Amino acid sequence: QLQLVESGGGLVQPGGSLRLSCTASGFILDYYVIYWFRQVPGKERERVSCLSSSSINTDYADSVKGRFTISRDNPRNTVYLQMNSLKPEDSAVYYCAAGHLGSCAYPEYDYWGQGTQVIVAS
């Protein structure tokens, strides 16, 4: 079965850290561009980060630049989103997506995960 599964969300205090995982089944994630999005009910989905295939390029939304880091773990067929210095406004459902074609600049999405909830609160 071809799928993406996110994990690692939870409740964290402001200033804390979480690491989200996006693990693929049935396909090799290193061949895909990976996108992390987040969405709050009633607001537009925001792309947080992108990692090109073979990890050549990355990009980050201005709202998370310097705090979040995207990376691959090829043996585990997983992409991580390390989130540091978390703020209450980072609270959202976080989704990963993968696209075999396309790029960070011209995205295309083949697979989506189900999302993982992040709550930043004291």
Q: Can you tell me the mean pLDDT for 86-105?
A: 96
Amino acid 8: pLDDT: 98
Higher-confidence residue of 55 and 114: namely 114
Amino acid 96: pLDDT: 98
- DSSP states of 38-96: EE-TTS--EEEEEE-GGG--EEE-TTTTTTEEEEEEGGGTEEEEEE-S--GGG-EEEEE
The pLDDT > 90 percentage for the chain reads: 95
Q: Which two tokens stand for residue 44?
A: 């537009």
Q: Can you tell me the mean pLDDT for 82-99?
A: 98
Supply the mean pLDDT for the chain. 96
Higher-confidence residue of 63 and 102: namely 63
Phi, psi of 95 (to 5 degrees): -120, 145
- The 10s digit of each residue's pLDDT in 28-79 is 999 999 999 999 999 999 999 999 988 889 999 999 999 999 999 999 999 9
